[in-house]
Amino acid sequence: MEIITGALPSVITKLTDLATGEYNLQKGLKNDIKFLQEELMAMKGALEDVSKMKPLSLKNSQKLLYGRIFGNGYKDNNEDTDKQEDDLAEVSNQILMKCAGVPLAISTIASLLASKGRNKMDWYEVYNSIGTGLHKNFDVGNMRKILLLSYYDLSSHLKTCLLYLSVFPEDFKIERDRLIWMWVAEGFIQCTREGESLLELGESYFNELINRSMIQLVNHEYHRASEYCCVHDMVLKLIRILSNKENFVTILHDHKDHTSPTSTVRRLSLQNCMVGHAWIRDKTSKKKIRSVIVFLPDNDPKLNLGTFGVLRVLDLECCRLSNVHCLENVGKLIHLSSGGVPEGIRNLTSLEVLSVGWICDDTTIIELGHLTELRMLKIILDTDFITEQLDHPMGLKPLEESLVCLHKLKKIQSVDISGMARLRKHTIGRLDAWHAPPHLRRIQLSNKFGFSVRPDWMNPSYLPHLTYLCVTVLQLQQNDLDIIGRLPALHDLDLSVHSGLSIAINDSLFPNLVRCKLLNFMPPVVFRQGAMLRLIDLEFTFNVRQTRGIAGSIDNLEFGLENLRVLQNILVRFTGKSDTKKDREEAMDVPRHAVEIHPNRPKLRTENW
């Protein structure tokens, strides 16, 4: 009896632990089931919204399917393509019957088929995998099956990158580079070949998800220089279900906690909810949280980061920031994005990605020179700070000297300095003494900064890997543009001038350029035959009366747009306040004629700027 009595406390403790564990497990399962039910109901609601749309006809469904697979010009006198379509007509029509004219279903399946090649047996395998046709039973299960089919066809690294998108709220416009650098910080992108760039590899992942119709490109009203994407509601619901199942991302929204008490929080996304210190302590004190992303535009998150020992990503870009503590305890932080500069920034020596706003002193910029692991730097300078510098007898010289610290950043690949939009329109701060760090792949400087002339470092031998260039050069000569045009990797150019007369883009220049924006050239730049062989998007400004004053007449102007053989989009921005409607109509005769004789018939748009 004494033996039994003596063992009783130990047995009671074990039974208590088992009961507690069972309770937590049941509670966690209930939370998981509740979460899945809510997501499935939301998915059903999204699908019902889709079902209210008028389904595409068979002809339009075929046009969408073949357009996605073979390209928009698949019917243009290509007998081989026509024959392949005839061979695939039967199976493609059967697939389309299962898609029931739903554009999302057709686009998703088309992207999957495009990745399979044009083998009839592979197409039949896809057809057999879809299951019951949507035309028979239009429900969540069938649509989800199509999406799952595409998801499971992705490579493992693309699956991981796609699941990470579940951290963003519905209908959120996601900046491409912001997303890619978050992938980098999480370790999802690994270079395996010498000379390979993390950013370029990330761009290839991003483009592959676009091609697979898992994410969609969108235009951003205020940030046209950057690419943005969003996730279709149906796709987002699916990846949230998969993410929850794999305990990949924990999402808190509308004051609801769907997490299991026994689950490990690895990535935390706070959306439209406030979380107290107690929740953070309970959920993370013994967990291994790697990412915290906050979407609280109207609230100030009071986060104590002392327990976040392995935190890699801290993204506070979409919230007000005044109270983030214990940065000294997150020394392994790789990605920091916020609307302000936290104290102790110089101690975060593991940082590889830094995006901060409203810098208002030189000292903060100098501190950035201590972050020698940085690969991407994006800073927004406070307008009042710049105004004070411009009004000072020394002008921007202190700022230029502080920017010299960037030379210490030997691994830097991307530099973005902005934030002076409210300055006087014609105010330009000169940064002639600033010298770009080598090995850059992206340079974006606000048009409120400018170089008097092209700096010597802006040449192909110093910047052989530069892919994106956005700068202002006040005085630009023909020879300067010829040198910039020989940058071998450049595919995105945004170039502003104050004086650039009779400039031409000559043969063989800008061989890899895809997008080009040329501002304030008068007359507009002329494109010679053999220039910009890969250019797709072109934007330029046109001041009609000033151009007429320089050239004498606009009737005989030649832009050479017909020489840009793969051009698809042209945007002409009229900048002259004194230009009349008649002036602009006369000026448009030249580009209109160029479009009419262009083999691609590019889309022509105009805007008053």
CB-based contact 371:349 (threshold 8 Å) = yes
pLDDT at residue 11, rounded to an integer:
52
pLDDT at residue 70, rounded to an integer:
79
CB-based contact 379:367 (threshold 8 Å) = no
pLDDT tens, residue by residue, 449-459: 778 899 999 99
Alpha helices in 285-433 (DSSP H): 362-367, 383-391, 397-403
pLDDT tens, residue by residue, 236-290: 999 999 998 888 998 887 655 555 555 678 898 888 766 555 555 565 554 578 8
DSSP H/E element including 539: strand 537-542
Q: Among 168-177, 275-284, 475-484, 528-537, whose mean pLDDT is lowest?
A: 275-284
CATH of domain 156-233: 1.10.10.10
Kindly tell me the burial class for residue 143, based on how many C-beta atoms sit within 10 Å of its own C-beta (0-12, 13-18, 19 or more).
Answer: buried
Secondary-structure class of domain 451-609 per CATH: alpha beta
According to DSSP, the β-strands at 569-574 and 603-608 are parallel
Q: From CA 309, how far away is CA 448, in angstroms rounded?
A: 40
According to DSSP, the β-strands at 256-257 and 250-253 are antiparallel
DSSP character for 325? E
Q: From CA 41, how far away is CA 29, in angstroms rounded?
A: 18
- The residues that bridge with 356 in the sheet, in sequence order, are 338, 379
Q: From CA 557, how far away is CA 78, in angstroms rounded?
A: 36
pLDDT at residue 54, rounded to an integer:
75
Q: From CA 493, how far away is CA 471, in angstroms rounded?
A: 9
pLDDT of residue 2 exceeding 70? no
pLDDT tens, residue by residue, 578-592: 788 888 888 888 888
Q: Answer whether 0.85 is exceeded by the pTM.
A: no
Q: From CA 488, how far away is CA 502, in angstroms rounded?
A: 24
Residue with tokens 């073979």: 70
**At a CB cut-off of 8 Å and minimum separation 6, what does 122 contact?**
113, 116
pLDDT tens, residue by residue, 323-374: 555 566 666 789 998 877 777 788 888 999 999 877 777 778 888 888 999 9
**At a CB cut-off of 8 Å and minimum separation 6, what does 223 contact?**
175
pLDDT at residue 81, rounded to an integer:
45
Q: From CA 304, how far away is CA 316, in angstroms rounded?
A: 13
pLDDT higher at 18 or 609: 609
Beta strand segments in 233-328, E: 250-253, 256-257, 267-271, 291-296, 303-304, 313-319, 324-325
**At a CB cut-off of 8 Å and minimum separation 6, what does 43 contact?**
140, 144, 234, 237, 238
Residue 121 binned pLDDT confidence (cut-offs 50, 70, 90): confident
Tokens coding 20:
């507690």
Q: Quick one: what percent of the chain has pLDDT higher than 90? A: 30
Q: Would you kindly state where each structural domain of the chain is located, as residue ranges?
A: 54-152, 156-233, 451-609
